[in-house]
């Protein structure tokens, strides 16, 4: 599953593995992540499961070409989530949620409240 900050190249189905680790390699002067996992059916045997490409270093085209060179299934990075992508409603603190209830209430929030929540959730 791709993230907003990196492209993904799946080499094998993750269901075949029980634990994974991530390391880095360099190809054509660019760093990429390698997800190496232990096979469920053969404990002690490890195999490369996926590659991850930082979208600030790798363009979609070059990442896809590298993935295809290794017979992987390429997935481009998805666009970052914006405020418009969030569901409408008012988010409430987790400690105030009662058993069986959702984390959103049906109340409409003011634009000012939405901006406060969005600023709090931004990465710095």
Domain coordinates of the chain in residue numbers? 6-75, 83-121
What's the predicted TM-score (pTM) here? 0.64
For residue 36, the SS3 value is strand
- Token pair for residue 61? 């085209």
Vertex 2 angle, CA 9 and 65, to 5°? 35
Tens-place pLDDT, residues 78-91:
877 676 666 676 66
Q: What is the DSSP-derived secondary structure letter of residue 100?
A: T
For residue 53, the SS3 value is strand
Tens-place pLDDT, residues 35-89:
999 999 998 999 999 999 999 999 999 999 999 999 999 999 987 767 666 667 6
């Amino acid at each position: 599953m791709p993230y907003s900050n990196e492209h993904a190249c799946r080499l094998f189905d993750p269901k075949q593995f029980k634990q994974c680790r991530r390391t880095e390699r360099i190809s054509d002067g660019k760093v990429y992540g390698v997800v190496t996992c232990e096979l469920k059916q053969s404990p002690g045997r490890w195999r490369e499961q996926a590659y991850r490409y930082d979208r600030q270093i790798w363009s979609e085209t070059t990442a896809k070409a590298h993935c295809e060179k290794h017979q992987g299934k390429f997935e481009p990075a998805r666009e970052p989530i914006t405020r418009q992508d969030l569901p409408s409603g008012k988010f409430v603190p987790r400690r105030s949620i009662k058993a069986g209830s959702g984390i959103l209430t049906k109340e409409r929030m003011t634009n000012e409240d939405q901006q406060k929540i969005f600023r709090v959730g931004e990465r710095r």
